[in-house]
Amino acid sequence: MENRAISISLAVSLAAYLASKLLLKAHTILQEATQSQLIAPLIDILHQSITILPWLIGGATAGYLCTYNPLKHGAITGALYGAAFSTIGIMVLSGQTYETPDKISQLIYAAAFTAKSSFLFSLSSAFGFLTANQRRGL
């Protein structure tokens, strides 16, 4: 396991997450200012593109930096990313919920988010690995 690739890709994912939050604020302002029905679908497409930045850039970084097993490193990075954000979310919400079913639903959502992040990071790590192999061949 290449710890350097995982740690760097987690840092890149965090930076991409923060950048996407800033871009989403600008997107909201743009969406409120736009009155045209012709431009509204394009702005919605822009929203989707902004929300995929953390896992796309983070997974591609993991695949680019590792020399073997890019899918494994992408999956590990995604699992760590999902677990970290889920843990933070549970800590924030735990003071506001007291019922057992609410706690269970938070844990189920956290597990689903971790699995989704692991899958998406591993998909984008293949792109990063292929990019690195093409550059090594030149």
Pull the structure tokens for residue 65.
């930096």
- Domains of the chain, residue spans: 3-137
Predicted TM-score (pTM) of the model is 0.84
Q: What is the pLDDT of residue 35?
A: 77
137 C-beta neighbours (distance < 10 Å), count: 6
Q: What is the pLDDT of residue 17?
A: 94
Q: What does the pLDDT profile of the chain (138 residues) look like in tens digits?
A: 788 999 999 999 999 999 999 999 998 888 888 877 888 788 888 888 899 999 999 999 999 999 888 999 999 999 999 999 999 888 888 777 778 787 888 889 999 999 999 999 999 999 999 999 988 877
Is residue 78 within 8 Å of 112, Cβ to Cβ?
A: no
